[in-house]
Structures are given as C-alpha cells and as structure tokens.
Structure 1
Amino acid sequence: MNKKYWVLWVVGFLCIPFACVEQISFPLDRQEEKLIVFGQISNLQEEKYIFLSSTTSQDRQPLSSGDYLVLNDLPRPVTNAQVSLVGSDNSTFLFTHQSDGRYDLSRNVPILDGVSYFVEIQVNGKTYRSSPEEIPEAVGSDELSYDFGRGELDGIPGLALISIYSDVELPETSEPYYLRWEVEEAYFWQLTFFPNPFNQGPPPCYVFEFPDSERIPLLSGESLRGGVEGGRQLLATRQVDQSFLSRHYFTVRQISMSKSAFDYWRNVRDLVNNTGSVFDTPPAPIQGNIVNVNDPDEVVLGYVEVAKVAQKRIYTTLADVPFELEEVCTYQPGKPAIEYPQTCRNCNAFRNSSTQTPEWWFDQ
C-alpha cells in the first residue's frame, strides 16, 4: 500500500498584490510528482493569476539550506513553465512568471463576454490545458455587515470574535447560476517608531490574510428565483486581536461560476469538513479541470475557473471594537529593540505583507 500524507497545495496561502488564495489540504501517494494548478480568470480589472507547483515524490531531490540539505513534503513552485490564456476568438495572451510559481496576466487584458477561455501550460516537454469556460452572464450583490461578540472558535470558548455577514441579492436571471464567496482581509500594522537622528518613522505595513479559510460558502440557483434576496449568509469568523488596532478591511468576492467549478468547490468543501466518522467518504484527490493533452490519464490537481465577480469591502476601526486591545508595538524608553517582537520591527515578519498602500485603501 502506498504511504499517504497530507500536502498543502496552492489553492495554498499565497498572495498576489492585494489578492490571496486559500490553503486546502489533500492526501496523496508519493509514487510520483503531480502538477498542481490553480487560478481564476475574471471580469475584474485586476491582474489575473495562475499558481503552479508540484507535489512531493519518492524521487524528490533535497534542497540546499545553508550548510544542510532539506527534504520535505511541501509542494515546490514550478518556475520553468510557459503559461498562456487562449480565447475562442483566436486571442492568445502570455502570462509572466513573477516568483514562487506565480504567473501573472496584465489587468489590461480584456476578458470578453461570449468568449470561452482556457489556460495552456507547457512545462518539461508536456502540454496541459484547462477546460474552456465562458464568463457567466449574471452575478448577485452583497450588502455587508459585521457583528462583534464572544463565542467559540477552533474549540476554544469565550473568545472575542468578529463575524462577517452578507444580505445577499441573487442574480436577476431565469437561468441556473452557481455562487461561491471568498473573504480576504487586509489591515494596517503600526510598526514601532524607534527614535533616530532623522526623526524618520517606520515604513507603512499592510498585512493580507484569509480570516476563515476552511469556510467555503456555496449557493446553487437551480431551484431559486433570481432578483430576490438570498437571505443572510455568514461568510467568515475570526478572532479579534491587535490587528484591529488600526483600519481593518474585509473584501468579499461573490463569484459566479460554471456548474463544473461549483461541483469542484462543493467536493473541496465536503473534504475539508469531513468529520472522520465511519460513514464519511474517504479523503481522496479531487478531479479538477486540467488535463495533459497527450496523456489524459495523468492526475493533475487544481482548477482554473472563469468567473464573473462582484466585489465589495467593509472595514472597522478601533472605535468600532467593543473589546480592550493592548498595544504591543508602542516604544518604551530604555527597552532594547531586540526585545520587541519581530513583527514590531519588520513588516516582512508577516507571511503576506507589503509596504505599498493598496490603491483602494482610502476609497471608503
């Protein structure tokens, strides 16, 4: 029997400038490396992205880490691929490799209604393609709100929490539609201002995360009427901490997608929420929409979705928070800098951060 292990793959937790993707775990065998593909082509005027990585295998070579060789089971970025977006109108656009297996397409590339698109990947002498999809015709809208309160999270009771809700208005269409919600967060983190001869303050620091990555809200409109309210949806819950000392944004993306994409994400949700009882379906790799054009039997993980997205943001400030929050990075005379947390001294201490202010930060 092949040895099983849990692998973090990209749907991983990675961020392009001010947009992130979630972290999902799947069990796989170690017999051979498998390509992992994840991306979204949407109507929004933003960079489109494809993430490429590969799973571990018995033949994986260790990496050099200083004076040591390291071998782990984490996916490794694929950096030697050529990635293209191909449209049924004979258009072709090349992605540019940025870093860590991330390939970007300019925000200026138009994604047109009525045109089907697929992604083609050429790597190591193989060609992979996603199934062609068109942007859906309709998407609904969200009226966002939040509540503070105390409750249980990850089995810990009595925590200070914030919950993000949407009063959903469904798409105005008689055709079937399939919706998914993503919630990203971004907050300003105040680094410690250490006195210096130039009286120069620290750079701004913006941190990007997913507040509730295992929650995958889905809604199928096959049996619902369009143009009506879809009820109140709980989209995310997270613990209130020092990140709420400054402005803290939640970005909600309502994603209208194909039935195939909906089925994929429903399977992901079922796997993530598997309780482990004897009646549960055993965990297994989930079939996506990418194939090796010369070897259809090769297992390729992930999904490239073509989606219509409606995006809204809501934010809190310290004045909104009903809990007392202790300042952690305030300068204290006589306290050596090394005794301050690393996150107070360097924005790069956060896994996904930037010193560049998002262009939308002061829009609201």
Structure 2
Amino acid sequence: MSKQFAVIRQQYTGFRSNWSFSTAMWLSKGLLLLVIILSACVEKIDFPLNKGESKLIVSGQISNLNEDKYVFLSETTSADRKPLLSGQYYVMNDLPRPVSGWVILVNEFGDKWDYQMEEPGKYRLDSTVVIEEGIYYHLEITVSGAKYTSEPEKMPEVVGEDELGYTFDRGVFKNNPETSFISINTKVTLPEQNKGYYLRWDVDEAYYWDLTFFPNPFNQPPPDCYVFGFPDPERITLLNGDLIGDSVSSSLQVVAERVIDESFLSRHYFNVRQVSISKSAYEYWRKVRELVNNSGSVFDSPPAPIYGNISNLDDEEEVVLGYFEVARVAQTRIYTTRADVPFFEPEVCTYSPTRPYDDYPKTCLRCSEFPSSSGETPHWWFDQ
C-alpha cells in the first residue's frame, strides 16, 4: 500500500522573510519533504512512498545572503495516526504534519546558534548570523528525545551570474493545446573555476493583484494585495560544472514556464536564485529529477528511495527524509507589465453596478483568499 510523497523545495527569497505564510502552503497531497530556497513559501513534487511508520522530514538552507534562514520539520503519516481536528470536525488524512523540536546550527569550531520556532514545524535563524567562508556547518536536531544531525558542509567558493529574459508563446503547454504561456530563461555566465561546481535554479513569483474597487462615500480604494507563489514547481534545473568543456563560458537555461492568466494584468515579478551547492546536494536533486522525468508520471512508484544528508545519531537504520544545504546564492529578478503581454486576458475583478456581489470571485474581495499573500509592499518592489 502506498501514499503520495511530495518533495517540497523551500524557497528562501528576501521578501519571504518578512511575511508569515500559512502552513497550508506546505501541506500538500502527500508527504512534505521541504528543501530549500529563500524563506517561507514552498513548491512541490509528488511521488509515492510506501506507507508505514512515520518518517521525519528535515529541510532548510543557509547561504551567503543577508536573510533569515529557515529549517522545516514535519513527519509522514503513519497507519495509526490519530484523527486531526479541523474546525469542528475530526478528520483522517495522509498529509504530513508539523513536528515540534529543537534545531541548532553548529560550525566546525563548536559555535552554536539556536533556531527559534515561529510556528510548529517552522524554525528561523536571524539574518544577523553570518555564514563564513571555508567553515563547515551542520544541524543538530532533537525531536521527541531522538537526536539527529546533518552531514557537515561548507559554502561553495563560486557561483555564476544570470542575465534574465523571457518569451511569450502560444501553443501546446503541458499537454494543453492553444495555451498562452511565458518562458523565463537565463544566459548564465559560468564560474571561472574549471569543473568542481554544481548549480541549481529556483524560481518564485510575486505579483500585484487588483481587488475590486466598489464605490463608497469616501472613494476609498481597496487595500494593496501582493501574491506570492511558484510558476513552475516541478521543474528542477541543474548544471554540473564537471560536464562543461574548458572553453565554455556561458550556458542558456530555461528556468521556469507558466501559463498566462489574470495575474499578468499588473506587475508580475520572477525572482530567480542561482544556487551553488555541494556535489552530494547536486546528486540528491539529480536523483529527484530523474525520478520525475523517467517515471512518466510523478505518481509512479520510485525505483529506490532517495536519501538526503540527515541521520539519527543513535539509530543508523532510521530513514530520515530531506536535505540541509550550505549554499552560495546569486539572486536576480525580472518583471513583466500588462503592456508586455501580447495576449488578451479579461479582467475578472472589474466592478459593474449590475453585477451581484456574490458573482465576484472571493479573490476579488479579500487578499487573504490567496494561500500566500500580503498587503505590504516588498522592499525590493520598485528597485528595477
């Protein structure tokens, strides 16, 4: 018997450290395996895992960027899981659930920094903690008396440079014909170092959403609404420097594709993080990508389990899921406006005096209807 297993890539962008996002963002149809990038949103990749005893899931990343650093703890659902209270009802489901514990970052000299629990399963290390060059770091985790650790890693020495662009197309998109979509691409200036570097790209998005402006005596406009998410959550873009010829200095990569919808009626950002990772982290993501690409379906059974770098100090046989990365990151942004989009997209929230109130989508009435949103303008919104 099996259940759906979801690999979640944790995104750590600057803006995400400033908002509290709902834990519903990282509860998906199956197991959450939270892994990396910028601060509190997630994207998922699903594939099955044999159902049985609960398994701990650990994910997170520290990097050279001056931002809050996060670790996420959760566990898979076991057959004897107690019902979960949802509103006024108890329900049974196969969703992974947050885990409470203690998380500590340790360097090779024994210096330690405690993560603070912001909510069950979500742990934050303040941006004032500087990750130093050439020093190994690892996690120490305690959950229900059991002690876990990650393999020590140090920050890679190099990372490339992205020059972002985009193209609009209309055609077959994810088996849907006559679909309008955007492709985000990068011309990568590769590190000068020959071989020995491993890159991954993570992409998140943020856009302004126009709530419906209903006439009122004070002519008060609706509040600002910024929505955050992931344009192409199942894409895993990797580059192995060992496979690049010595004379090659650049590379072209498509890092995300997304269908065009009403979110492009206003400014729509794509935040691209080029992540330089260790060889073992690269191999972890390569195996995940192979599993997704070769199975033909993300719900097919995996040929073998994919192990991360977390282990139980007292039980070598325990399987712990997830990966904790020590990375070097280069972040770049690009945005589109309504004028850039060559396709017509109808406005869904436009006010009409003859339109009944309950005919407006809920997202036209309240920003909070989006799983991840905020009324505060990201500090970088007008930098470009």
TM range (shorter): over 0.9
Question: Could you give the per-residue CA deviations for residues 263-287 of structure 1, whole angstroms, max 9, x where no partner exists?
Answer: 000011111213349xx98444310
State the distance in 1 between where 2:328 and 2:10 align.
Answer: 22
Structure 1 position 11, deviation (Å): 3.5
State the distance in 2 between where 1:49 and 1:228 align.
Answer: 35
State the distance in 1 between where 2:10 and 2:82 align.
Answer: 22
Match of 2:364 in 1: 344
Match of 1:332 in 2: 352
Residue of 116, 127, 152 corresponding to 2:172: 152
What are the residue-to-residue correspondences of 1:50-69 with 2, within 5 Å?
A: 50-69=71-90
What are the residue-to-residue correspondences of 1:133-152 with 2, within 5 Å?
A: 133-152=153-172
- Identify unmatched segments of 5+ residues in structure 1: none
State the distance in 1 between where 2:302 and 2:355 align.
Answer: 54
**Structure 2 CA distance for partners of 1:276 and 1:160, relative to 1, 3 Å:** closer
Residue of 260, 265, 273 corresponding to 1:245: 265
Does the Cα contact within 8 Å between 2:160 and 2:191 map onto a contact in 1? yes
Structure 1 position 331, deviation (Å): 1.3
Structure 1 position 357, deviation (Å): 1.1
TM-score normalised by L of structure 1? 0.93
Q: Secondary structure at the match of 1:274?
A: helix
Structure 1 position 301, deviation (Å): 0.4
State the distance in 2 between where 1:281 and 1:41 align.
Answer: 32
State the distance in 1 between where 2:171 and 2:72 align.
Answer: 36
Residue of 4, 7, 19 corresponding to 1:6: 4
**Structure 2 CA distance for partners of 1:216 and 1:17, relative to 1, 3 Å:** farther
Letter in 2 for 1:321: V
Residue of 162, 182, 196 corresponding to 2:182: 162
State the distance in 1 between where 2:118 and 2:301 align.
Answer: 38
Does the Cα contact within 8 Å between 1:169 and 1:228 map onto a contact in 2? no
**Structure 2 CA distance for partners of 1:62 and 1:282, relative to 1, 3 Å:** same
Structure 1 position 140, deviation (Å): 0.5
What are the residue-to-residue correspondences of 1:47-196 with 2, within 5 Å?
A: 47-78=68-99, 80-196=100-216
State the distance in 2 between where 1:284 and 1:194 align.
Answer: 55
State the distance in 1 between where 2:246 and 2:192 align.
Answer: 4
Identity among equivalent positions (%) equals: 56
Residue of 245, 250, 261 corresponding to 2:281: 261
Q: Secondary structure at the match of 1:83?
A: strand
Letter in 2 for 1:99: E
State the distance in 1 between where 2:277 and 2:8 align.
Answer: 19
Q: Secondary structure at the match of 1:23?
A: strand
Letter in 1 for 2:131: I
Does the Cα contact within 8 Å between 2:212 and 2:350 map onto a contact in 1? yes
Per mean C-alpha deviation after superposition, the further-off stretch among 22-31 and 9-18 is 9-18
State the distance in 2 between where 1:87 and 1:113 align.
Answer: 11
State the distance in 2 between where 1:47 and 1:249 align.
Answer: 21
Residue of 35, 41, 45 corresponding to 1:24: 45
Residue of 34, 49, 60 corresponding to 1:39: 60
Q: Secondary structure at the match of 2:71?
A: strand
Letter in 1 for 2:292: V
Residue of 305, 317, 329 corresponding to 1:309: 329
State the distance in 2 between where 1:68 and 1:250 align.
Answer: 39
State the distance in 2 between where 1:168 and 1:227 align.
Answer: 14
State the distance in 1 between where 2:296 and 2:245 align.
Answer: 36
Structure 1 position 9, deviation (Å): 4.9
Q: Secondary structure at the match of 2:283?
A: helix
RMSD (Å), alpha carbons: 2.0
Aligned length: 359
